[in-house]
């Protein structure tokens, strides 16, 4: 296969992989009834004028199955971090002892589990749409290459078949990520 088509397929594969990785990161932030330090990955704190992720300002540990302990390196930040956690969509109330912030992860009820399952399915569908958009853009580029005589008809057909394989693999990966998270959420 000529170089331009291979380069295009490699770029498409990379974009599809990034889409799956982004979905995995987004789903990791969903509460599953267990304490997970990744729940706090989206918390950003104003640290001396710079927006800094919480995990760069503190040690976050899960000493128990349903508790997170945030040990800040600068104790002056405790009230600021508490406010950011309260503003976030985590639905948890922080408590501090002057040295560390403790978060208790509430048990998930059946209704909340079903809501989270819907969120997982919605995020997975958005990822599949992004993958299909990448495929469409690459297919258009392949057709333009053929019109510009950079590819022969046989090379175009092979490139399109390879592109479809990439799309199928990326979609399977997204489905696997989503079903794994659904199992985690629905397990009591």
3-state class (DSSP) for residue 106: coil
Residues in the chain: 188
CATH 1.10.132.20, the chain: domain bounds:
3-28+109-186
pLDDT at 31: 65
Task: Tell me what pLDDT residue 2 has.
Answer: 47
Q: Is the pTM of this model over 0.85?
A: no
Nearest residue to 115 via CA among 93, 92, 89, 94: 89
Q: Which residues contact 63 (CB under 8 A, 6 or more apart)?
A: 69
**Which pLDDT score is estimated for 33?**
65
Domain with CATH 3.30.1360.40 in the chain: 37-104
CB neighbours of residue 120 within 10 Å: 22
Residue 90 and residue 104 in contact, taking contact as beta carbons nearer than 8 Å = no
Give the helix/strand (H/E) hosting 46: strand 44-47
How would you write the pLDDT of the chain (188 residues) with one tens digit per residue? 447 888 999 999 999 999 999 998 888 777 666 777 877 878 888 888 888 888 888 888 888 878 889 898 888 888 888 888 888 767 778 888 888 889 887 777 788 788 888 889 999 999 999 999 999 999 999 999 989 988 888 999 999 999 999 999 999 999 999 999 888 888 75
- CATH class (in words) of the domain with range 37-104: alpha beta
The pLDDT value given to residue 140: 94
- Domain 3-28+109-186 matching CATH 2.60.120.260: the answer reads no
């Amino acid at each position: 296969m000529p170089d331009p088509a291979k380069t295009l397929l490699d770029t498409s594969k990379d974009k599809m992989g990034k889409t799956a990785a982004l979905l995995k990161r987004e789903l990791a932030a969903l509460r599953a009834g267990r304490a997970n330090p990744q729940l706090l990955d989206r918390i950003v704190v104003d640290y001396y004028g710079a927006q800094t992720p919480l995990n760069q300002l503190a040690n976050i540990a899960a000493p128990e199955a349903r508790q997170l302990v945030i040990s800040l390196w600068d104790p002056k930040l405790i009230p600021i971090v508490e406010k950011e956690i309260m503003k976030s969509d985590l639905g948890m109330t922080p408590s501090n002892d002057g040295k560390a912030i403790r978060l208790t992860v509430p048990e998930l009820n059946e209704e909340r589990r079903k809501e989270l399952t819907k969120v997982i399915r919605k995020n997975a569908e958005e990822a599949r749409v992004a993958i299909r958009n990448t495929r469409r853009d690459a297919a258009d580029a392949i057709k333009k290459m053929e019109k510009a005589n950079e590819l022969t008809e046989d090379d175009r057909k092979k490139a399109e078949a390879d592109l479809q394989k990439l799309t199928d693999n990326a979609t399977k990966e997204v489905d696997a990520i989503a079903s794994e998270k659904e199992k985690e959420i629905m397990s009591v």
